[in-house]
Amino acid sequence: MKEIISIQQAASLIKEGSSIMIGGFLRCGTPYKTVNEIVKNKTSNLTLIANDTCYPEYDRGQLIVNKLVKKAIVAHIGTNPETGRQMNSGELEVELVPMGTLVEKIRSAGAGLGGFLTPTGVGTVVEKGKETMVVDGKKYLFEKPLKADVAVVYATKADKFGNAFLEGTTRNFNTVMATAADTVILEPEEISEEPLNPAEITIPGIFVDYIAFEGK
Amino acid sequence: MELSKEQCREIIARRIAQELKEGDVVTLGIGLPTEVANYIPSDIHVMLQSENGMIGIGQKDTEAPEIAKVTNAGGLPVTTRPGAVFFDSAMSFTIIRGGHVNVTVLGALQVDSHGNLANWMIPGAFVPGMGGAMDLTVGAQKVIIAMEHTTGKGEPRIVKNCTIPLTAENEVDMIVTERCVLEVTKEGLLLKEINPLFTLEDILKDTEAELIIPDNL
């Protein structure tokens, strides 16, 4: 059985200067309650690892607007003009990573791999400073694994084993992030008293350390 | 010939839709490429893939809650079509980078004679990030560029060599503008079709790259 904690307790697990992975693709499938609480706590100096920096008004976007992030490792910042502004003024370091490379770096860390070779980014600025290798006549970039101190991931429904079901396109980065951090917090919308059907589980509960639930 | 922006976009989207075949897995970029979906012939079934994690995108979903559970890559709520599948980002990019997408349609800031594409940033002016564009360009079997022939200021977008940071090298297969259709070959850009509303001169005057013009065009 996993420990069920409040949203406030979950947010307090994120310390100043932590690296934090947050699931979500824009507003879809993101653990916004815990993220909003981190914003309230003003936990700063964070390294944010996520698909994008969302919109200025919401969750990950609010972390940026409130200047709680020192470095963002993301694939897309176009929906949050404040990220671009802070990047241009030197207040925020932004490492832009191709989306497929970003998810695979996280997957590598969670899967115990020392990195991978990808053709994505060959001949572009992404290649800069990276080792390359030619395999069967094709050039690849070597990309390293990426892990974090804490991952906060979304679930539509979870049981007390931490097994989670994610509906529709809410899966996005949540599944891989749950495998690649020292502490993993799952934020389900609903907790089931009965164990979920094993055939319908998106994230195995073994990856989850805490379940953050409103009303706890 | 002066066309409105909407007319240009419709011509481009309609022409690209003719390139799609029954059963194709197709990923459309955001903006003009998304409009291709409106002109897919009704007698073929195409599987639209979305990088955020689905195949089988339907229509805009007007009844979804504020935070929707099924969205497209632009974050907008969508419905599913029969045969739809959801998956996570790792699977999405296995599909994209692994060569399982038959056709991708992407916008461009510049394309050059070598099939190089630049569509993710203008240094100092516009840096949204590459999102999934680099993976798509490298991984899709066929890369079609959908763009207006010139920039808003009338500058050529089809250039000898891209002058802004690349999305990928030598990966573009076809360029469709409101004026013409070009195929990227080893020898350079081959002019395949001219929109009858335009003349060859209209194309050449606003194209910086050299074009190969077949006699029988």
Q: Is the pTM of this model over 0.90?
A: yes
From A26's Cα to the closest Cα of chain B, the distance in A is 6
Q: Do B88 and A172 touch (CB under 8 A)?
A: yes
pLDDT (tens digit per residue) in B29-59 = 988 999 999 999 999 999 999 999 999 999 9
Helix (H) or strand (E) holding B117: strand B117-118
Rg (chain A; Cα; Å): 17
How far apart, in Å, are the Cα atoms of A24 and each of A64, B172, B178?
15, 30, 37
Mutate to test the interface with A, among B57, B134, B143, B171 (most CBs of A within 10 A): B134
CATH code for the domain defined by A3-111+146-212:
3.40.1080.10
Interface membership of B93 toward A (CB under 8 Å): yes
In degrees, rounded to 5, the angle at the alpha carbon of residue B42 between the alpha carbons of residues B36 and B46 is: 60
| CA pair distance A133, B113, nearest whole angstrom | 27
Q: Looking at the domain assignment, is residue B217 inside a domain?
A: no
When CB atoms are compared, the residue of B69, B116, B135 closest to A99 is B135
Q: How many domains does chain B have?
A: 1
Interface membership of A51 toward B (CB under 8 Å): yes
When CB atoms are compared, the residue of B52, B93, B97 closest to A25 is B52
> Is pLDDT above 90 for B124?
no
**Predicted pLDDT of residue B216:** 86
Predicted confidence band at B1 (pLDDT cuts at 50, 70, 90)?
low
Residues of A in contact with B87 (CB under 8 A): 171
Q: Where are the domains of chain A?
A: 3-111+146-212
ipTM of the complex as predicted = 0.97
When CB atoms are compared, the residue of B51, B128, B135 closest to A120 is B135
Tell me the residue range of the domain where B174 lies.
Answer: 5-212
Rg (chain B; Cα; Å): 17
For A130-188, give the DSSP string: --EEEETTEEEEEE----EEEEEEEEEEE-TT--EE--GGG-TTHHHHTTSEEEEEEEE
**Predicted pLDDT of residue A128:** 97
Mutate to test the interface with A, among B89, B94, B95, B169 (most CBs of A within 10 A): B89
Using 50 as the pLDDT threshold, list the residues of chain A that sit under it: none
Predicted confidence band at B161 (pLDDT cuts at 50, 70, 90)?
very high
Q: What is the CATH number of the domain that holds B51?
A: 3.40.1080.10
Q: Looking at the domain assignment, is residue B176 inside a domain?
A: yes
| CA pair distance A168, A84, nearest whole angstrom | 30
Strands of chain A (E only): list them.
3-5, 19-22, 46-49, 69-74, 93-96, 116-118, 132-135, 138-143, 148-158, 164-165, 181-191, 210-212
